[in-house]
Amino acid sequence: MSTTVKITAAEVNKLRQATGAGMMDCKKALVEAEGDFDKAIEVLRKKGQKVAAKRADRESSEGAAVSKVNADNTAGVAIVLGCETDFVGKNENFLALANQLADIALNHESKEAFLAADFGGMTVADKLIEQTGVVGEKLEINAFEKLEAPYVGTYVHINKIAALVGLSAKVDNAETLAKDVAMQIASMGATTLSYKDFDPAYIASETEARIAVIEKDNIELGRLGKTLKNVPQYISMAQLTPDVLAKAEEAAKAELKAEGKPEQIWDKILPGKMDRYISDNTTLDQEQCLLDQKFIKDEKIDVAKYVASYGDVTLTGFKRVTLG
């Protein structure tokens, strides 16, 4: 290799801008490439491949969750760019890279297509390898979620959680509605829109497991002379058939009669009792179903009622990505 090639500061800066690598790494790469810009990029990429190979078994559980929505709010993407340490995850250049990657991801339907997409003359996958060499830590895309709807909104919580929400229509203040619901998703971690989405076998096994846990807790509480927990018969609205609700109402009426409450006031008391019965027997829905969760900004209502307050609009879907 020739040692007479003079490398200018402008050339070093150009390579730094293109790769994000340090000044000395860029100078060494240009010297090794005898001033050839493309070859210098290849030198840095090979360095990244060596670092990536050495760190292949490392966990990339830190990083940044970011999201992007297109100009007409009809599509959005959320990704997690993973790294090894919180220190790198909070670095401005790392966050800038995450956002650049999200811009590219917005134009692709799958993680595979995204990784194969162009990033300044190389694939996204190659860019991650290159940046592994630059940063010295394993970098990879840990999550990729795409959502399309008549209106898509998003919310990102301190680059740790990113959520996307799809609305059936662009109503007045759709941005506020979508952001509020996305904040709900980020905070409460729903897994599905409605109890109607649950598989019956899952509900059955979950009911059995939850009842077993409560009954075990009650043995200890009883031993300590403390108040026992209520053991529900059911955990989802999917189990509360008209027949089940009718029997619950009859039981509530019998209770009122036993308490000596006049029949003429039962109509005022029964709704509250039935609401309590439903609440006690739909714990799975309240935890995992977005529409059935208590709205974090007003726990007197659920998310379904909050969405309904915006008029003729429904939630069509949601996505959530998180670190770890």
The number of folded domains in the chain is 2
- Confirm whether 243 is domain-assigned: no
Structural domain for 92, as ranges: 62-194
Give the integer Cα–Cα distance in Å for 174 and 15. 43
Which DSSP letter does residue 171 get?
-
- Confirm whether 154 is domain-assigned: yes
69: pLDDT strictly greater than 70: yes
- Confirm whether 24 is domain-assigned: yes
Instruction: Provide the CA 153 distance to its chain's centre, in angstroms.
Output: 13
Does 190 lie in the same domain as 105?
yes
pLDDT digits (tens, 9 = 90+) for 5-34: 788 888 888 877 777 677 777 888 888 888
Residue that finishes a domain, picked among 137, 168, 194: 194
Does 121 lie in the same domain as 31?
no
Residues 6+ apart with CB under 8 A from 93: 20
Taking the chain, what is the end-to-end CA distance rounded to the nearest angstrom? 45
Check which CATH number belongs to the domain holding 123 and give it: 3.30.479.20
- Confirm whether 224 is domain-assigned: no
pLDDT (0 to 100) of residue 51? 66
Does 110 lie in the same domain as 19?
no
pLDDT (0 to 100) of residue 74? 96
**What integer is the mean pLDDT of 129-137?**
83
222: pLDDT strictly greater than 80: yes
Nearest to 139 by CA among 127, 154, 122, 148: 127
39: pLDDT strictly greater than 50: yes
Q: Please report, to the nearest 10 degrees, the dihedral formed by the alpha carbons of residues 285, 291, 296, 298 taken in order.
A: -110
Residue that finishes a domain, picked among 164, 194, 224: 194
Provide the token pair at 42.
């290849």
Does 94 lie in the same domain as 22?
no
pLDDT (0 to 100) of residue 2? 44
pLDDT (0 to 100) of residue 133? 81
Which DSSP letter does residue 313 get?
-
316: pLDDT strictly greater than 70: yes
Residue that finishes a domain, picked among 145, 177, 194: 194
- Confirm whether 317 is domain-assigned: no
Does 72 lie in the same domain as 35?
no
The mean of the pLDDT values for the chain is 89
Does 105 lie in the same domain as 187?
yes
Burial 200-234 (b: 16+ CB within 10 A, else e): eeebeebbeeeeeeeeeebeeeeeeeeeeeeebeb
Does 175 lie in the same domain as 68?
yes
1: pLDDT strictly greater than 50: no
Residues 6+ apart with CB under 8 A from 49: 129, 133
Does 188 lie in the same domain as 123?
yes
- Confirm whether 304 is domain-assigned: no
- HSE of 109, CA atoms in CB hemisphere, 13 A: 1
Check which CATH number belongs to the domain holding 4 and give it: 1.10.8.10
53: pLDDT strictly greater than 70: no
Count of beta carbons in the 10 Å neighbourhood of residue 172: 10
Does 95 lie in the same domain as 22?
no
Residue % of the chain over a pLDDT of 90: 64
Does 157 lie in the same domain as 125?
yes
**What integer is the mean pLDDT of 101-109?**
96
Count of beta carbons in the 10 Å neighbourhood of residue 4: 5
Q: What H or E segment, with its residue span, contains residue 296?
A: none
- Confirm whether 239 is domain-assigned: no
pLDDT (0 to 100) of residue 153? 96
Q: Residue 79: is it exposed, middle or buried by C-beta count within 10 angstroms (0-12/13-18/19+)?
A: buried
Residues 6+ apart with CB under 8 A from 207: 234, 235, 236, 239, 284
Does 182 lie in the same domain as 136?
yes
Give the integer Cα–Cα distance in Å for 113 and 24. 34
